[in-house]
Structure formats: C-alpha cells, structure tokens
Amino acid sequence: MATRPSRRTALALLGAAPAGGLVAGIAVPAAADDRSGPLPAGLLPGGELDQYVADKAAADEFSGSLLLTHRGRTVLARSYGTADKQRAVPNGPDTLFPLASVTKLFTAVAVAQLAQQRKVAYGAPLGTYLDGFPSSVADTVTVHHLLTHTSGFGDFHALPGYETAAAGWTTPEQTMNGTTDLIRRSEPSFAPGAGWLYSNAGYHLLGAIVQEVTGMSYYDYVRHHVFAAAGMTETRFLTMPQWQAGRNIAHPYHRDAQGRWTDAITQFRYIVGDPAGDAFTTCADLDRFGRFLWQHKLLDPGQTALMLSGKVPLVQAGTAPADGTGVPAQALFQAYGPTGALVAGQWTFGHGGGNPAGISTSIDVYPEADWGVVVLSNYDGVVVPSIASLARKLITAGP
C-alpha cells in the first residue's frame, strides 16, 4: 500500500490550520500543540548529536557550524575549526560559508515568485523566455523540467571550454551570459521528462529566465526579493577577491595526497557564483530562509505547497541515498528546488550541497514538528550528511 503524507502535514503546507490557528495570517500546524512534550534528549546540548559533532571536530573531520532550532528558537548551536587556517580565524556563528548547490533553493523561490505573479508558467517551454536554443530544446524543455532536473541538461562545469572561459570572466554579467551561451551549444542527454539527471545547467537557465522576465540581473533580483524578503541580512554573492580578502568568510579545505589540509580557494576559477551554486550565508540566515519559506512569507500558500510537494519519485528511480540512520524515507521526491521526503509520517524538505575541494552544506526543515537543521562546513567529506542524518533520526523518533 502506498504511504501518503498525513492530513495534518498536507493541511499545514497548504495553509490550513486544523487545530492550531493563524498568527499574523500564517498557518500554525496543529503539530505545535500536539508535540508540546519535552524535546528529545539526543538533540539537547550534551546529547547524542552534540557529542557526535564534537567528536568529529576533535578528530579534525569537521570544521564548520551547526544550528538546530525548534519553533524558531535555538536548541543547539556549535562552531568548530577555522575559517582561514593561514590567518588563524576561527569559525563562528557569523562566519559566511559558500553554499554550493543549496543556492538552488533561492533560484527556485525566485521562479515561484514570478509564477505567482503569472510572469512565468511552469508548463511553458524554454523558448518562451530565452532565445538561441534549437527548436528541439526550445519547444520541448519546460520550466518544470528545469526545476525537477528532468530536462536532460547536466553539469555546465563539465562542458568543453567552460574552465578556460570562466577564468576570463571578470563580472557577474559575463558569468551569466557566458555560461548561458555554453549551455546553448550543448545537447541534453535525453528527451525532457525521460529521466532524472542532477542539473546545474538547468538551474543556471532558470536564473537566466529570472533576468529576462524581470529586466533585473539575477543577483539583484534574489538580493531584493529573496534575501531581503527573508531577513537574510548576511547572505550575498561574493566575488573571488571579496572571498579571498574577507576575514569572516570560510576558505574551503581538502586533504592533499599526504593527508594535509590544503586551502582550495584558488581552485575556484570563476569570479562569482551563479543560480546553481555558491551564494554565501550563515547558519542563522539559512535557518530563517527555511522558516520563512514554509510559513508562506516568501510565497502565498498555494505556491508554497506547489513548490514543496513531490514531483518526481527518486526512490523508485534508484537515486535515494542510503544514510544508515535506521530511519529510511518512506518516499523521496524531487520538488521544485528541494528534495522532499516522508519519514516516520512527517513530510520534510531540504537540500544539500558540496564540492570535493572543500564545501559541504545542508538544510533540512520539518514543518509539522517545527524543526530546522542547518550544517555548513568548509571541509570536504561525508560528515555533514552524517550529521544531518543523525538529526533526522532523533527528530523523527520523538522524545
């Protein structure tokens, strides 16, 4: 028998308030009343999660920050390691971390806002908004396909000539236009909708659509309509010189062949991130973004539900990661931006990001139980997913 999200979860995401009510016009899930007992001990300071992260940091396997919130209040906040080893700058709650692919959530919200304004249609083909693509792409790939990684486009970083071209771009405008031109000259790996392939190219094109529709640069749009709207006062896109010069900006580290931590900042050839990756933020800003999103402060209730609901099943496609927590997802879906999962009867959503040069990030939001988990690290490796998985196990297990 297929497992469905609980009625309470569905109502919360759709903006109804079956037993909670409305606060300032925002739906309060009934779970806020139903789950008012003690917090799980494993999530509290000194508990299992706290000790796990401390042990990983002590073994020099984790460098970064963790923030765990419940009903908007901090339950656990920790920072370990250094943002810049050469200058001995420690990581802290105000450290800015490059997000890698978690940035895609901001792009997805931007597109949903334009859909809410009826300036973009999810079912419209790419050619409606961007020119220069062959008809085989312009007339068949839709906004829906780009959002769900089903367009057939893959990773623009791997396109021939990308690294050479990116090294010569000196402005955000060149980054946007140059990357779009490279994608125009590429071919999708399969017909739209015929498969699922993680698509940096697809999310870059979504950012290009935002530019075309609004007449603003992608960077200006998300700064005003996503970051500012969510109260993300520290979040921004940084140029490479700003990244290198800033004292509170985490440098990425990975181990070299001798096992020594190496600063990989010079391996990033581009001048600035783009709609597919590498905005910079803090744990507090990213947690606030997740809360604003599910509480309908960035989109109206209908658009919020549409963005966060499952579109493409991933478990069936064999793309569900094994996390070893003992709490497997009952269903895992690609939504419009995030991945959604049904775990122990709770619908959750989130996104991870990473770069083997030394970026690992994660956000998970549990609307029904009102938990947020953000982990940002400037070390490569699998520790961040393991922290997020342990938090998921403890949250869904209850007190």
The enclosing H or E element of 210 equals helix 200-214
Nearby residues of 380 by Cβ (< 8 Å), 6 or more positions away: 252, 253, 254, 255, 354, 355, 356, 357, 358, 359, 360
Question: 109, 98 in Cβ contact below 8 A?
Answer: no
Please provide the size of the chain in residues: 399
Q: What is the rounded distance in angstroms from the CA atom of residue 327 to the CA atom of residue 350?
A: 16
Annotated active-site residue 377? The verdict is no
Beta-bridge mates of residue 263 = 253
Which is it for the CA torsion 210, 213, 214, 217, positive or negative? positive
Other C-beta atoms closer than 10 Å to the C-beta of 365 total 24
Closest CA to 355 of 229, 224, 265, 249: 265
Closest CA to 243 of 224, 223, 266: 266
| C-alpha of 37 from chain center | 30
Supply 205's token pair. 């094109």
* Active-site residue (options: 63, 65, 79, 101): 101
* Alpha helix segments (H runs only) across 36-190: 48-58, 104-116, 135-138, 143-147, 162-168, 172-184
Q: What is the rounded distance in angstroms from the CA atom of residue 11 to the CA atom of residue 13?
A: 5
Question: 278, 172 in Cβ contact below 8 A?
Answer: no
Question: 49, 41 in Cβ contact below 8 A?
Answer: no
Q: Which residues are catalytic?
A: 101
